[in-house]
Structure 1
Amino acid sequence: MSFAETPDEELWLATKSDHPEERAEALQELGTRAFHEANWPLAKTLFGSAADLFQELDNQNEVTKCIYSVGFAHYRLGEHEEAISMLTRALESAQELVDSRTIAFSAAPLADCYSYQGDDTKAIEFYELAIEAFDEIEDPANAGFNAISLGELHGKASRQTQALQCFIRSYNNFQSIGDAYGAARAKDRMAAALIELGDLDQAIQHIEDALNTFAHLAEEERVAFMRYRLGWTLVLHQKYARAIPELRTAAAYFRSTKDWSMAAAVELQLAIALADIDPDSRSEESEQLLTRLNAFFESVGEITNALIVQSLYGERLFDSGSYEAAATLFGDIIERAIEIDDPYIVRATRAAQAEALFKAGRITDAKNVLAEIDASEWGENKKQLERLERVKKLMLDTMALTLNIDVG
C-alpha cells in the first residue's frame, strides 16, 4: 500500500486502522512528511511508533529505516546520546541486511555525534564507513561532504598529509557532479592542509581558485571570507603588498554586514601586514589597529585572538632585543592559554618563550620550558617544527659556548 499521495487527514485516520500494516505505513508516511518539514519532535514520535508496529510484523527492513529516522531526529535536536544509541542500532541492522544506503545515512550522523562529543577516533571510524557506503550507492555529494569532515579531524590531529588526501577526494567527488560550490569548499580545505605542510604557493593557488569560483556564483560572503584567507596566507608567505588590498576589501565587507568579530579577525592580519611591510618604521595605522583589536577581543571574550595580539607584542619585544620583557609576556600568555584550554597557543608560545629565555641568558629556565614541548604534537606543521628546531639549536650552541668558556 502506498500513501504517498494521500492527504494528511486520511493518513491520520489510517493510523487508527484495524490492520497493523496499514497503521505502520500511515505512521511512516506522516513521519516522512514531518521529517521533510524539519519537525523533528513529531518525526521522532511517528517513526518510533511505526518501528514498533513493523517489529510486530517482523519487517526488519522497515524497522531499520524507522530506527534510523528516529536516530536522525535525535541528532537534529542535538540529543547526541540518544542519537548514538538509535543510529548504532540502525547501522548494525543495516549491516546485517547488507543495506548500503541505510549504512551510509546512519554512519554519517553517527560520526557527527561522536565528533561533537570529542571522540575523534570513533568519528573517524564512522566517517570512513560513511564515505565507503556513499561511494557504493553512487552518492558523490554526500561522500564529498563526509570526506571534508574526515579531513578536518585528521587536520585537527596534525595529520596534514591524510587531511589533504581527504580534501582531494572530496574535490574529485564534487567535481564529478559539477558541484562548483562544493569543489570550491574542498579547494579551500586543501589549501589549509598545504599551509600546515609549508607549501604556501600551492595553497595560494587553491585559495584563488576557490575565490574565483565563489565570485562566479555571486556568493558575496564566501568571496569576502576567501579574500581574508588569501590575505592571511599571503601574510604568512611575507607577501605583504599583495595581502593588504585583499584584507582591506574583506574587512570592509564584514564591517558593512556588522560582523564585527570577522572584521576584527581580518584587521588583525591587516595590522601584521602593515607593520611587517616596513619593519623599520612600524605603521601608525598598524599600531592603532592592534591597540583597538586587543581591547575589542578582550571585551567580547575572544581571548584566543587577544592572546594572538599580545604574542605580536611579545615578538616585537624579542626583535628589539628586550628578551627579558618578551619572556615575561610570553609566560603571561601561556598562563592565560592554559586557563582557556588552548593547547595550540600554549605550544607555540612555549617555543617563543624558550627562545627569549635563551637569548636573555637564562639557560636553565629555557631548558625547563623546552622540556615541556612535545614535538610530536605539532605533527606536520612545518613552520612550528622549524621554530622548535631553531630553539633546540640555540640551546645546543649556548651549551657549547658555555662549555668552551668553562674549559678556557
Structure 2
Amino acid sequence: MKPFTFQAPPNILFEAGTSRKLAEIVAGYGVTRVLLVTDKGVRNAGLTRHAEKDLIDSGCELTIFEDVEADPPSHVIERAVALCRDKDIGLVASIGGGSALDTAKLVAYLARTRDRLDDIYGVGLARGERLPLLLAPTTAGTGSEVTPIAIVTTPTTEKKGVVSPRLIPDWAILDPELTVGLPAHVTAATGIDAMVHAIEAYTSRHKKNPMSDQLARQALALLSANIRIVCTDGSNLEARSQMLLGSMLAGMAFANSPVAAVHALAYPIGAIFHVPHGLSNALVLTQVLRFNLTEAEALYAELAPIFDPGTEGLSVSQRARLFVDAIGAICRDCKVPASLADVGIGSGDLKKLAEDAMKQTRLLVNNPREVTFDDALAIYTEAFGNRAAA
C-alpha cells in the first residue's frame, strides 16, 4: 500500500440546531472579542440571529463583517483582515456559504501572521499561526468547513487558492436547520458541487488514498439518494441532514485527494461571468467526465453501483458510461441550466475561458487525463452547444 497522509478538523459537531451552541464553544477559548463573518443574504434571512444574541448575552464584544461577496474578491478579504486587526479580535467565526467560510479562514490567518495575501497563494505557503476558527456552513455543497483551502478572486478575475493545514478550522459546526430555507436552484448547484468533490477525489491522479476513497463513496451515496428530494421538498430536515453530512464527507475526501479538471474549467466561468461556483461545475461536469473516460473508466465503473445496483453485472465500459449518464440525469432532474449559453456566455468567450482554465495548474495536474488548451476549448464548445442536445 502506498503511504499517505490524512488531515481533518480536530472537532466536528453535527446536530440540528447546533449553531445555537456557538457561544458555548467560544467560551471555551476564553476570548471576549469575536468577529462573525457572513453575508447580507444569510444575515437578513435570520440565520445568524441566535448566534449573535447568544454571543452578546455571554459577554462577548461582537464585531460583524457581513460584506462577503460570492467568489470573494481579494479586496473584500483584505478589508475584513483590517477590521479584525483594528478590533483586536481574539476568535473568528463564520456562518455562511463557502465564500464566507473561505473569507473567515484567510482573515483568521492573515490577522494573526501579518503575511500578505499575495504571498500565500499556492500550496503550503501559509505556515504561521492563526486565530481560533469556528465554521458553520449554510449550504450542503462546498465542504469548506473541513478543508485546508480558500479560494480568492484576484483583481485580474483569476481564481487562486490558498492551500495550507493552517486553514483547517478548530470546529466544524454542522446544523442542517441552517440549510432548510435554501432555494431549490441553490440547493441543486451546491449539491452537485459536493458530488463533484467526491467524484474528483475518487479519481484524483495524486494523493488518492483508502480513507478519501471511502469518504467519497459514502458521500456520493448520501448525496445521490437525497439531492432530488431536497430540490423538490426543501423542508425535509432528514434529507437536508443527509445532504449536509454528504457534503462534509466529500469535503474531507477532496481535502486529502484534490479536485481536478471539472473545477479547473469551472473557475473561469465563475470568475469572469460571476456564475455561482456549484453551477459553474455543473455546466462542464458531464463533458469532463466523458473526456476522462479513456483514463478513468475503471474508477467510474466502481462508482456506478452507488447510483444503480443493477449495473453490477455489466461490463466496465457499460458501467462507466451509465455512471456518466446518471450524473447527467441528476443535473436535468434538478433543473440545472444545460448550456453555457443559458448563463450568458457567448461562443466568442470560449477561447478566453480555455486560456484561463490552463492557468489552473494546481488542479489540472490531478486530472486522470492530461488536459491541453485544445481539449479545454473542445469541452467548453461541447458545453456551449449542450442546450440543443438537452
TM score, norm. by length of structure 1: 0.34
TM score, norm. by length of structure 2: 0.35
Kindly indicate which of the two structures has a greater share of residues assigned to strand: 2
Choose 1 or 2 for highest CA Rg: 1
**Larger RCO (CA within 8 A; separation ≥ 6):** 2
Kindly indicate which of the two structures has a greater share of residues assigned to helix: 1
